[in-house]
Structures are given as structure tokens and as C-alpha cells.
Amino acid sequence: ILNVEQSPQSLHVQEGDSTNFTCSFPSSNFYALHWYRWETAKSPEALFVMTLNGDEKKKGRISATLNTKEGYSYLYIKGSQPEDSATYLCAFKNTGNQFYFGTGTSLTVIP
């Protein structure tokens, strides 16, 4: 069982603030890193799939970076909006067949 850690566990920001979270994972046998957005009472939805060291992905106001050598990924949200409120999950996959999910960062954007 591998350890995938996300920080902070929860976060409250004001509307318009920019914010970022961290996902830490083992740096050996890296295959892929996924970010998911999980709204309450819904199922997780894939945001980004990252496979290469130095990858940067962007979707609207949300972006992510990847450092496989040191074992971390950052998720950034620029100008947070109330609809960004959700839990953001990262999942690490090594060269085996299983993903290991972090426990998530719960984001609340206060209007």
C-alpha cells in the first residue's frame, strides 16, 4: 500500500482569491497522476491526467503542475468562485495496475 498525501485537508477562501493544494506521492515507479473534482453527492470527475515530469495542464481557471522526481503535484485555482467548492482528489498510479487515492482537499469558496 502506497502513501498519497494531500494538503491541506480543508481550505476556506473568499470569492476571487487564488489558491493551491499539494499532492505528494512516491517518486519511484511513476506512471501517472490524476486530479479529480468531487462535488458533494456526486461522483468524482477527472480534471487532469499527467504523465511526464514537468507537465503543466490547464482548464479554464484551474491548472496543475507535476514533479515526478521529487514526488509532488500542485493544483492551482485562480480567482476562486463559489462553484469551485468541492473536494479535489489526486490519484497516483505506479507501473502496476492500481491507483492510490489521496484523502482529498476540501475547498469552500465563500461568496
Partner 1 sequence: NAGVTQTPKFRILKIGQSMTLQCTQDMNHNYMYWYRQDPGMGLKLIYYSVGAGITDKGEVPNGYNVSRSTTEDFPLRLELAAPSQTSVYFCASSSIQDFLDGYTFGSGTRLTVV
The number of residues that bind partner 1 (CB under 8 A) is 23
The number of CA neighbours under 13 Å toward the Cβ of 62 is 15
CB atoms within 10 A of CB 48: 22
- Cell numbers 502513501: residue: 3
Q: Distance from CA of residue 60 to its chain's centroid?
A: 15
With CB under 8 A as the contact rule, the residue among 43, 83, 95, 111 that binds partner 1 is 43
42 contributes a contact to partner 1 by CB under 8 A = yes
Residues 44-73 that bind partner 1 (CB under 8 A): 44-46, 49, 51
Binding site for partner 1 (CB under 8 A): 1, 4, 31-32, 34, 36, 42-46, 49, 51, 89, 91, 93, 97-99, 101-104
